[in-house]
Structure 1
Amino acid sequence: MDRIGIMLDWALLEKGIHGIKSYERLPYYVEIGKELGLEPVFFHPRHVKPGDERVKGYFWNGNRLVSQLVSIPRVIHNRVLTGDAKARNVIRRLSQKKTVFNGLVVRDKRKVHQMLWKNEQIRSYLPHTVPYSMEHLRQFLNKYQVVYVKPSIGSVGIGVARIERHGGNYHFIASKKRQILSHSQIFSTVRRWVGNKRFLIQRGIPLARYGGKTFDIRVSVQKNKEKQWTVSGMVAKVANTKNKLSNLSRGGTAVPFSEALVPIFPELKQQQAVIERVGIAAVEIAEQYGRHFSSLADLGMDMGIDERGNPYLIEVNVRDQRYSFFKAGEKEMFKQTYRHPLEYAQALLTEKKKRKHLLLAPSQWV
């Protein structure tokens, strides 16, 4: 049985060592891996020994993770969400010696937007986005009803502020904060909110609603056994009415995407057409991102649709936490998000074996 490396955050590994369940379903890797002839080795970059050939790996024994010193697998799926400089350096070194997919990539939302904007075919999916400045904020507030101010690097809705224009006043909504501010107050409030950090400003998409609340869509886009981008699943995330955020950790709720579409598009054909449009957009976006970072193979996109079903990209996550599928009861999709990366890893291993066989084969020339 071939081994496949799965790099995880230490907090997740620690839970696994104590047999505590987390959003990362370790038994799924083992179960699907067994079907494919793969044995997962879980580890953190800091467990790699000097020389980058051996690692203190962890194996699932049915109840918890147990450690064993082993050779580093030839193919590694990087699932590390948080990494210090030392961990990043290890991943960088491993990427030169092994095949590490979803390696180190640019996560700055502004830079990602610039990369995607280069492709005219996908520009219609991209909401107007600019680097934060007072002048840009002034322009956006004059032009759009809803504006988002968000960190250039960040996740799970932390640091995101929503500004809604209501007549001469503005509603400033962020985390547990909700204020009604005048024209002059909004600028000083945003200035304090941003501080000296890097932020961007984005037009708020006129999102479709479910049960009176706006929703966006988490789309899992992954490479499959044919090494092609494919959609593994879609799920609707319904916003919390207090902070207007759909992130599950911020009070949002997950429902099947098809269920969220029914009130807006009652006919099955309409629903299928919207699902197809979102899927096509997600794959096109993944392909463009992948042109800049060839190691990419596992993305979680936050997308939105308007009342007509037009798709828009909100942001791309390079480490999809996947649990929104579980929360929505989409168990098959949830499992598929584990299967596709393992099938992709198997394809990479097969390719490596063929290449090695060709190199070792005796010359056919006489």
Structure 2
Amino acid sequence: MKPIGIILDWAIIEGALKGKSNYENLMYYVESGRRLGMEPIFFHPRLVNFATGTVRGYVWQNNRLTPKRVPIPPVMHNRVLSGQATVRNGIKRLSKHGKLFNGIVVRNKEAVHRMLWKNAQLQRYLPHTVSFTRQAFIDMLGKYRVLYVKPVVGSVGIGVARIERDGDRYRFTSSKIRKVLTKPELIAETQRWVKGRRFIIQEAIALAKYNGQTFDLRVSVQKGESRQWGVSGMVCKVANSQNKLSNLSRGGQAEPIDEVFATLFTKEQAEHVKERIRMAAIAIAKQYERNFRSLADLGMDMGVDHQGNPYLIEVNVRDQRYSFFKAGELEMFKRTYHTPMAYARTFY
């Protein structure tokens, strides 16, 4: 059995040791490994001893995780997303000990937007996005009826505000706040929301709706045994009617893409739209990879308008994949684990 290092947040490993379930299903790594002749070694960067070139990891034995000290695996899939300098440095050092994919990347949404915008062919997929300043906010209010204000680094909808013009008033909506404000009140409220931190302002695309609610898509874009980018699965995330957010942690609902698209398009149209999404996602992944060569596993939040035109909302460099499970798409869910394992196998 060839070793494959799976680098995880300590909370994930700790939960698995206690038998608790979370968004990472470690058994899917194990099952894929058995089919590929590989043994997953689960570990956190702080468990690595660089002086001896070993890691105190965990392997699946006797139906449970068992500690085992092994040499640093020659191939590693990084699933840790941390701002801690010691953890980031550990990941960088590990990348010098073998093939490590999904290493350290820039997560700044504004920087990612600029990076993608350089490719003229991708601009059709990108909503208008600018850094937050008071004047930029006023300018964007004049251009668009609906905006999102987001932290430049963040995930699962934390810190996101949706702003919608309604006559001469504005609806300010977040996961916990719902207010109707005048324009001066809105500007003051939004500046309080930002609190001097780094945020972006993003045009809200007029997305298609399912049962009266907007939705976006989680698109898993991964490299597999061909070492080429492909789409492992797509699933819809329907927005919560209260806070207008599709994040599952903020009350959004995951639904199979075929069920949602069947209410919007003919079968032939739906297949065409899915192909357009697939092509856009792969093109975006290729552009992102030009700046970060280690990338091999991404989760993109994308949307479609009523004509089926795809748009990028956000790139997630540590796709939690849980949307597939929540939508009942078990085969897609398993595929998102197997594909990067198959990619890892190619380095032996």
Q: Same fold (TM over 0.5)?
A: yes
Which residue of 1 is the match for residue 117 of structure 2? 117
Which residue of 2 is the match for residue 275 of structure 1? 274
The question of 1:167 aligning with 2:176 is answered: no
> Any residues of structure 2 matched to 1:193-232 within 5 Å, and which?
193-232=193-232
In structure 1, how many angstroms separate the alpha carbons of the residues matched to 2:250 and 2:82?
19
In structure 2, how many angstroms separate the alpha carbons of the residues matched to 1:96 and 1:166?
55
Q: For 1:105, what is the secondary structure of its paired residue?
A: coil
Which residue of 1 is the match for residue 318 of structure 2? 319
> Any residues of structure 2 matched to 1:178-193 within 5 Å, and which?
178-193=178-193
Which residue of 2 is the match for residue 158 of structure 1? 158
Paired positions, count: 348
Q: For 1:67, what is the secondary structure of its paired residue?
A: strand
Which residue of 2 is the match for residue 39 of structure 1? 39
Q: For 1:172, what is the secondary structure of its paired residue?
A: strand
Q: Which moved more, 1:64-73 or 1:229-238?
A: 64-73
Which residue of 1 is the match for residue 303 of structure 2? 304
In the TM superposition, what is the alpha-carbon distance from 1:196 to its structure 2 partner? 1.9
Note if contact 1:2-1:38 (Cα within 8 Å) is conserved in structure 2.
yes
In structure 1, how many angstroms separate the alpha carbons of the residues matched to 2:4 and 2:336?
16
Q: Which moved more, 1:45-54 or 1:172-181?
A: 45-54
Are the structure 2 counterparts of residues 151 and 272 from structure 1 closer, same or farther at C-alpha, using a change threshold of 3 Å? same
> Any residues of structure 2 matched to 1:4-43 within 5 Å, and which?
4-43=4-43
Identity of aligned residues (%): 57
Note if contact 1:23-1:321 (Cα within 8 Å) is conserved in structure 2.
yes
In the TM superposition, what is the alpha-carbon distance from 1:159 to its structure 2 partner? 0.1
Structure 1 residues 252-297: Cα deviation after superposition (integer angstroms, max 9, x where no partner)? 00001111111211x2101100110001000000000011101000
Note if contact 2:214-2:239 (Cα within 8 Å) is conserved in structure 1.
yes
Query: Where has structure 1 moved over 3 Å in runs of 4 or more?
Result: none
- Unpaired runs of 5+ residues, structure 2, are none
In structure 1, how many angstroms separate the alpha carbons of the residues matched to 2:276 and 2:297?
20
In the TM superposition, what is the alpha-carbon distance from 1:66 to its structure 2 partner? 1.4
**Which AA in structure 1 matches 2:329?**
E
Which residue of 2 is the match for residue 234 of structure 1? 234
**Which AA in structure 1 matches 2:227?**
K
Which residue of 2 is the match for residue 359 of structure 1? none
> Any residues of structure 2 matched to 1:40-55 within 5 Å, and which?
40-51=40-51, 53-55=53-55
In structure 2, how many angstroms separate the alpha carbons of the residues matched to 1:124 and 1:346?
36
**Which AA in structure 2 matches 1:305?**
V
In structure 1, how many angstroms separate the alpha carbons of the residues matched to 2:344 and 2:257?
28
In structure 1, how many angstroms separate the alpha carbons of the residues matched to 2:63 and 2:245?
36
Note if contact 1:105-1:293 (Cα within 8 Å) is conserved in structure 2.
yes
Are the structure 2 counterparts of residues 83 and 10 from structure 1 closer, same or farther at C-alpha, using a change threshold of 3 Å? farther
In structure 2, how many angstroms separate the alpha carbons of the residues matched to 1:89 and 1:243?
38
- Unpaired runs of 5+ residues, structure 1, are 350-366
In structure 2, how many angstroms separate the alpha carbons of the residues matched to 1:348 and 1:190?
49
Note if contact 2:82-2:88 (Cα within 8 Å) is conserved in structure 1.
no
Give the CA RMSD over aligned residues.
0.9
Structure 1 residues 69-111: Cα deviation after superposition (integer angstroms, max 9, x where no partner)? 1111001000013351111101011112211100000010000
Which residue of 2 is the match for residue 130 of structure 1? 130
